[in-house]
């Protein structure tokens, strides 16, 4: 979560009429900023990760692992000790990690004290930094509490036993959930307001339905006996029966089910806006692959699901679209109108505000316009204004697409702002469009440059894995830029990959679309296209409308900006049909390579490492990380989701009925903690020797080493 504004949040009836004002000034604020920073250059690569934790409280008597709701107290103690460390050792200030609040009152987020550089030497410090953060968090908890990096808490919202410490009834007015009390929400006014305003705008509670995993004793059809079907506390209680809860699905009815999930995010600084746009685009097709590889959330509300990932859960958990915008019929209940909580006509929106990216934004001539093949509803007035103000079409489309949404939380003290100084209205919409990638302009007046955030990954149990996936993405970004790699394919195929990534054991059973020719060798496109003229028919008529001369591209990561379109445009006329540019690959092929057909992302990274002059030890350490990714991709090591499934299904208390009982959950979290601390090995899940490596590192000096 970003910075928390202070003030009085408006309820939906008061916030709604301000939406056009916030959007208009949001764009003015962007433009004021844009005019100052569009030519900013020369920022160095810096990057940082964000790790989210669930705080678990064990009750060893009842054998229950519950969610501890002490976020506020914990953060207070953490910032106090932070303060003391800074006073005692001012030289170390930049190394002191930062802890942030998150949506769930049982969650913490940590980031490194200052961003890392990209040298391989610095990459070696990442795991230690992550471990230090975990250790600091851990040392500030009660003896029965534990910060655990589990993407979804399997028993959030169960109705057969308490799942929070302390326990509360689910009868809160913000979410009106039948399962989650409002006390699981961060009490800062922003969060309950966000929750209530999503519900009110939508015109009903959110409805999350994840397919249940059908085991041999799971009833079929599965009509969930744990739903209080006949509760009559809020008018919304009737929604489940009226069709919101689908048979054969795990039904969830509150924002907390999604925003209570934990993830691993990585943010990069680019040297210029052009480079940021290149990195943004090239990482778009990588998003679903990393979601599948890091899959870690196979259980919800006490049941095993038939999906392995959180993404669609969060997507539905904050889906504020009206039935009309979603193109769905409202539930047959009073108060459920097609327009939800709106009194104006609304446009069709294909996706939730938490969803995959909808458009490529780079001006690189490799970005053929055919790749942007998703419907892209935009705010036409704002789009035109951006164009009239000199913003190029791709960026204008991107922004005016984000700005089809309404601001959900408006603080009464913040309505009128100086658009030259503030970016608050811009950030209001920017930061509540939760997509797989985020393009982040430099904040006003600061030292920070253009950044791109990679947001699809699920958090892993150990910091070894979290470091491995972070380092993988950082090195891939470096390889993309130094070799000028080209991962473009139609963005609708990226969305298809998102769907596939969710499926149970997608890594081993699904194929994923990816571009065949990833090297930026335009002359190859050229010769191939001309030799295939007969086969492709009149290529000219199908290709992009750009024109220019046709020189071969140097292998050079820094993108060409607007001028590039002229320099390389003619080649576009010889490009093959888009459908010939991609193929379907297994995850193993995509990561580890497929003979001469596809190099594999790891090969690209190793080539990049070979181009650097690095010492053996660093190379070895990087190798451990990259091997983990390779092993997860070829199935020789299982994903976290598979480990969780296997643990549940082989537990003596498991009745083959998809139920994750209190005791199974308790034993599982204890076990995951032992694995994380290296007390036990986890064969088939982590590399042999993980435990030894983990325990030997325990004794190393932690801070400032
Ligand atoms: P948000 O929650 O809005 O995504 P956070 O502040 O929690 O943002 O995390 C941002 C991440 O970006 C952190 O890991 C931080 O170290 C990193 N970071 C900070 N400054 C820079 C920078 N100039 N370039 C790249 N990354 C940065
Ligand atoms: Mg976060
Ligand atoms: Mg954050
Ligand atoms: Mg955030
Ligand atoms: Mg973030
Ligand atoms: Mg989708």
Is 372 within the bounds of a domain? no
- Which atom in ligand 1 lies closest to the alpha carbon of residue 48? 14
Q: What is the atom index within ligand 1 of the atom nearest the CA of 100?
A: 7
Mutate to test the pocket of ligand 1, among 4, 49, 50, 108 (most ligand atoms within 8 A of CB): 50
446 and 469: one domain? no
187-195 long-range CB contacts below 8 Å, 24 or more apart? Answer: 187/72, 187/105, 188/4, 188/101, 189/7, 189/8, 189/9, 190/4, 190/5, 190/9, 190/409, 191/103, 193/9, 193/10, 193/11, 193/408, 193/409, 194/255, 194/408, 194/409, 194/432, 195/254, 195/255, 195/256
Between 571 and 295, whose confidence is greater? Answer: 295
Look over the chain and give the mean of its residue pLDDT values, rounded to a whole number. Answer: 91
CB-based neighbours (< 5 A) of ligand 2, an ion: 109
Cβ–Cβ < 8 Å for 300, 150: no
Point out the least confidently predicted range of 11-25, 522-536, 636-650, 682-696.
Answer: 522-536
| Ligand 1 pocket, residue 49 CB under 6 Å | yes
Model confidence at 573, in pLDDT bands (50, 70, 90)? low
* 3-state secondary structure (DSSP) of residue 217: coil
Check whether residue 425 and residue 563 sit in a common domain.
no
Atom nearest to 268 CA in ligand 1: 25
Q: What is the pLDDT of residue 551?
A: 29
Residue 269 Cβ < 6 Å to ligand 1: yes
Tell me if 470 CB under 6 Å of ligand 1: no
In a domain, 699, yes or no: no
Q: Which ligand 1 atom minimizes the distance to the CA of 431? A: 3
Measured in degrees and rounded to the nearest 5, phi and psi for residue 427 equal: -65, -30
Predicted confidence (pLDDT) per residue in 47-88, tens digit: 999 999 999 999 999 999 999 999 999 999 999 988 887 888
Is the CB of 560 inside a 6 Å radius of any atom of ligand 1?
no
Question: How far does residue 254's CA lie from ligand 3's centre (Å)?
Answer: 22
Q: Is 98 near ligand 1, meaning CB less than 6 Å away?
A: no
Which residues fall within 8 angstroms of residue 169, CB to CB, at 6 or more apart?
181
Write down which residue in 434, 454, 474 finishes a domain: 454
Residue 356 sits in a domain of what CATH number?
Answer: 3.30.590.50
- Go through the chain and tell me how many residues it has: 705
Residue 285, in any domain of the structure: no
- Whether ligand 1 lies within 6 angstroms of the CB of 47 is answered as yes
* Claim to verify: residue 92 and residue 67 sit in the same structural domain: yes
CA–CA separation, 579 and 506 (whole Å): 23
CA pair distance 628, 669, nearest whole angstrom: 22
Nearest to 469 by CA among 147, 153, 123: 123
Residues 428 and 573 placed together within one structural domain of the fold: no
697 found inside a domain = no
Residue nearest to atom 19 of ligand 1 (CA): 115
Looking at the fold, whether 420 and 484 belong to one and the same domain comes out as no
Q: Do 468 and 450 have their domain in common? A: no
Beta strands, E only, 62-141 = 64-68, 98-100, 107-111
| Count: domains in the chain | 2
pLDDT digits (tens, 9 = 90+) for 259-318: 999 999 999 999 999 999 999 999 999 999 999 999 999 999 999 999 999 999 999 999
Nearest CA to ligand 1 atom 6: 2
Residue 16 clears pLDDT 90, i.e. is over it? yes
Q: How far is the CA of 475 from the centre of ligand 6 (A)?
A: 28
Q: From the CB of 658, is ligand 1 less than 6 Å away?
A: no
Tell me: do 363 and 397 sit in the same domain: yes
Ligand 1 centroid – CA 130 distance (Å): 14
CA distance 410 to 309: 32
pLDDT at 86: 81
Question: Within this chain, do residues 515 and 445 fall inside the same structural domain, yes or no?
Answer: no
Per-residue pLDDT tens over the stretch 429-484: 999 999 999 999 999 877 899 999 999 999 999 999 999 999 999 999 999 999 99
Residue 55 counted as domain residue: yes
CB contact set of 72 (below 8 Å; sequence gap of 6+): 101, 105, 187
Given a cut of 60, is residue 178 above it in pLDDT? yes
Closest-CA residue, ligand 1 atom 17, reads: 48
C-alpha of residue 95 to centroid of ligand 1, in Å = 14
Tell me which residues have their CB within 5 A of the ion that is ligand 5: 50, 265
Query: 87: Cβ–Cβ under 8 A, 6 or more apart, which residues?
Result: none
Name the domain boundary from 407, 432, 454: 454
Which sign does the torsion angle of CA 187, 189, 193, 195 carry?
Answer: negative
Distance 402 CA to ligand 3 centre (A): 20
CA 447 to ligand 1: nearest atom: 23
Same domain for 407 and 485?
no
pLDDT for the residue numbered 571 = 56
Same domain, 450 and 523: no
Confidence band for 699, pLDDT divided at 50, 70 and 90: low
- End position of a domain, from candidates 637, 655, 673: 655
Q: What angle do CA 468, 213, 296 make, to 5 degrees?
A: 10
247 contacts: CB under 8 Å, gap ≥ 6: 221, 222, 223
Residue of 103, 115, 118, 133 with the most ligand 1 atoms within 8 Å of its CB, for mutation = 115
Instruction: Please report the DSSP string for 247-303 in residue order.
Output: TTEEEE-SHHHHHTS-BEEEEEE-SSHHHHHHHHHHHTTHHHHHHHHT----EETTE
Q: 484 C-alpha to center of ligand 3: Å?
A: 29
Q: Are residues 399 and 517 in the same domain?
A: no
**Rounded Cα gap, residues 394 and 547, in angstroms:** 18
Closest CA to 50 of 430, 427, 457: 457
pLDDT at 521: 62
Taking CA atoms, 398 is separated from 193, 376, 379, 389, in Å, by 27, 9, 10, 15
Q: Which residue has the tokens 């005692």?
A: 88
Best residue among 40, 44, 46, 48 to mutate for probing ligand 1's pocket (most ligand atoms within 8 Å of CB) is 48
Q: Is residue 236 part of a domain?
A: yes
> Does residue 609 sit in the same domain as residue 529?
yes
CA 458 – ligand 4 centroid, Å: 14
Instruction: Output the residue whose Cα is nearest ligand 1's atom 9.
Output: 50
SS (H, E, C) 342-393: CCCCCCCCCCCCEECCCCCCCCCCCCCHHHCCCCCCCCHHHHHHHHHCCCCH
Any domain includes 433: yes
pLDDT at 61: 98
Give me the domain span that covers residue 142.
Answer: 12-279+294-367+380-454
Q: What is the pLDDT of residues 636-656, one digit of tens each?
A: 999 999 999 999 999 999 999
* Alpha-carbon span 291 to 312, nearest angstrom: 11
CA 65 to chain centre: 26
| HSE-CB of 279 using CA atoms within 13 angstroms | 32
Judge whether 419 lies within some domain.
yes
Residue linked to tokens 């970005």: 367
CA distance 466 to 459: 7
1 pLDDT above the threshold of 70? no
* pTM higher than the cut 0.90: yes
Reply yes or no on whether the pLDDT at 542 is more than 50.
no
Q: Which atom, in ligand 1's list, is nearest to the CA of 453?
A: 4
Alpha helices, H only, 442-560? 463-483, 491-502, 506-509, 522-531, 533-536, 539-542
Q: In Å, how far are 159, 179, 469 from 172, measured between CA atoms?
A: 15, 10, 38
């Amino acid at each position: 979560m970003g910075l928390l504004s202070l003030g009085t949040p408006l309820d939906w009836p008061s916030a709604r009429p301000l939406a056009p004002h916030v959007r208009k000034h949001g764009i003015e604020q962007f433009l004021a900023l844009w005019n100052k920073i569009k030519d900013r250059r020369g920022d160095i690569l810096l990057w940082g990760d964000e790790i989210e934790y669930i705080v678990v409280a064990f009750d060893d008597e009842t054998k229950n692992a519950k969610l501890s709701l002490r976020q506020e107290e914990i953060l207070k103690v953490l910032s106090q000790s932070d303060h003391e460390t800074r006073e005692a050792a001012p030289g170390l200030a930049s190394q002191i990690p930062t802890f942030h609040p998150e949506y769930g009152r049982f969650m913490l987020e940590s980031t490194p004290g200052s961003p890392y550089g990209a040298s391989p030497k610095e990459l070696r410090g990442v795991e230690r930094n992550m471990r230090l953060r975990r250790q600091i968090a851990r040392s500030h908890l009660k003896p029965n509490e534990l910060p655990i990096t589990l993407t979804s808490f399997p028993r959030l919202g169960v109705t057969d036993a308490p799942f929070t410490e302390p326990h509360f009834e689910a009868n809160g007015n913000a979410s009106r959930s039948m399962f989650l009390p409002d006390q699981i929400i961060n009490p800062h006014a922003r969060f309950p307001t966000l929750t209530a305003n999503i519900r009110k705008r939508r015109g009903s509670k959110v409805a999350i339905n994840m397919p249940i995993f059908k085991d041999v004793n799971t009833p079929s059809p599965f009509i969930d006996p744990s739903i209080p079907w006949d509760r009559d506390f809020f008018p919304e209680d009737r929604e489940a029966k009226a069709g919101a809860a689908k048979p054969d699905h795990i039904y969830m009815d509150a924002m907390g089910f999604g925003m209570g999930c934990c993830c691993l995010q990585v943010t990069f600084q680019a040297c210029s806006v052009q480079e940021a746009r290149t990195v943004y685009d090239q990482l778009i097709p990588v998003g679903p692959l990393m979601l599948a590889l890091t899959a870690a959330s196979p259980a919800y509300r006490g049941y095993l699901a038939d999906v392995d990932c959180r993404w669609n859960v969060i997507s539905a958990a904050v889906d504020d679209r009206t039935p009309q915008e979603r193109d769905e019929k409202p539930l047959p209940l009073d108060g459920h109108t097609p327009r939800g909580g709106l009194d104006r006509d609304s446009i069709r929106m294909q996706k939730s505000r938490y969803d995959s990216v909808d458009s490529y934004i780079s001006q690189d001539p490799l970005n053929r316009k055919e790749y942007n093949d998703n419907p892209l509803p935009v705010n036409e007035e704002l789009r035109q204004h951006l164009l009239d103000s000199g913003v190029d079409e791709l960026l204008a489309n991107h922004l005016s697409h984000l700005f089809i949404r309404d601001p959900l939380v408006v603080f009464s003290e913040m309505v009128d702002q100086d658009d030259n100084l503030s970016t608050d209205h811009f950030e209001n919409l920017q930061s509540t469009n939760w997509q797989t990638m985020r393009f982040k302009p430099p904040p006003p007046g600061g030292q920070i440059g253009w950044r791109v955030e990679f947001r699809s990954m699920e958090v892993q149990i150990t910091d070894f894995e979290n470091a491995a996936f972070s380092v993988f993405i950082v090195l891939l970004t470096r390889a993309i830029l130094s070799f000028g790699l080209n991962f473009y394919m139609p963005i609708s195929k990226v969305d298809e990959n998102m769907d596939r990534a969710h499926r149970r054991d997608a890594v081993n059973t699904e194929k994923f679309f990816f571009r065949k020719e990833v090297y930026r060798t335009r002359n190859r496109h050229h010769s191939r296209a001309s030799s295939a003229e007969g086969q492709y028919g009149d290529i000219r008529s199908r290709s992009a409308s750009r024109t220019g001369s046709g020189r071969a591209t140097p292998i050079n990561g820094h993108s060409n900006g607007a001028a590039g379109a002229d320099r390389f445009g003619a080649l576009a006329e010889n490009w093959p049909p888009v459908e010939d540019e991609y193929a379907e690959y297994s995850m193993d092929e995509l990561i580890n390579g497929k003979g001469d057909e596809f190099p594999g992302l790891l090969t690209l990274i190793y080539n990049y490492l070979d181009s650097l002059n690095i010492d053996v030890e660093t190379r070895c350490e990087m190798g451990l990380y990259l091997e983990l990714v390779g092993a997860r991709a070829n199935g020789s090591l299982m994903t976290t989701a598979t480990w969780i499934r296997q643990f549940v299904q082989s537990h003596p208390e498991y009745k083959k009925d998809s139920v994750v009982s209190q005791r199974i959950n308790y034993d599982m979290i204890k076990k995951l903690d032992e694995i994380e601390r290296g007390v036990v090995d986890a064969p088939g899940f982590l590399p042999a020797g993980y435990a030894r490596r983990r325990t030997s590192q325990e004794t190393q000096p932690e801070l400032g080493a």
